[in-house]
Amino acid sequence: MKKILVVDDEPDILELIKDILKSKYDVYTAKNVKEAVSILEKVKIDLIILDIMMPQIDGWDFLWMIRGSEKYREIPVIIVTARADAEDQLIGLKEGVKDYIVKPFLPNELINRVEEILKERAK
């Protein structure tokens, strides 16, 4: 089973994403960037679902960190954001983000995106 890391400061969202994906994937959850990094170190993650608006170290910082490291650079990232502004989308795609999902999203939407990206990567 592919391993997915979800990073979000909202426990309810973490749980929701986990519940949506758990039947098909191994889902690891992190409440903040610190936890996310420690999981990255322990487990070989295939995809990251990342919330942008988090207190202290936000999603962009985490994205920078991943893109800066040899080890994690290749992991695809789906961004989850409450901000639907065009500007965020632009920055997101420039930073090498695979996709973005705007809150609120439907379970099927998320599953479809994750499947697509992992399939593409498998090729």
Partner 1 sequence: MKYRSIRVKLLSSFGITFSVLYALLISILFLLASRFFSQNMKRNALSFVKLTFKEVSETYLDYYSTNPLRFAEKINLVLNSIPDLSKIVIFDSLGNMVFSTTQLFSKERENEDLPLSPRLIKSYEIKDKLDKEYYVLVPVLNETGRNIHSILYIFSREKEFQFRRFIAIFGLFIYSILFLITLLIDNLLMGRFVNNIEKLKQIAESVQSGNYSVRAFINSGDEIMYLSDTMNSMLESINTYIYNLKAMVEELEARDRARDEILANISHELRTPLTASKGYVELLLSGNMGPLSEEQLRALKIISRNLNRLEEETKKLLYSSKMAIENIKISLSRIDVEKVFAEVKENFHNEIRKKNLRLINEFEAKEVCADYDQFRSIIENLISNAIKFTPDGGLIEVKTNSEKIGDKGYFKISLFNTSPKIPESDLNKIFEPFYQVNHGTKKEKSGVGLGLYIVKRAVELHKGFVRALNSENGVKFEVYLPLTEACDEEDSGG
Please, which of residues 63-92 interact with partner 1 by CB under 8 A?
A: 82-87
CA separation for the pair 90, 85 (Å, rounded) = 9
The stretches of the chain forming alpha helices (DSSP H) are 11-21, 33-42, 59-68, 86-94, 107-122
Residues 6+ apart with CB under 8 A from 33: 7, 54, 56, 57, 61, 62, 65
Min. distance of Cβ 51 from partner 1 in angstroms? 9
- Which one among 34, 61, 103, 112 touches partner 1, defined by CB under 8 A? 103
For partner 1 (CB under 8 A), the number of binding residues is 22
Please, which of residues 8-47 interact with partner 1 by CB under 8 A?
A: 10, 12-13, 15-17, 19-20, 23
Residues in the site for partner 1, rule: CB under 8 A? 10, 12-13, 15-17, 19-20, 23, 53, 82-87, 103-108
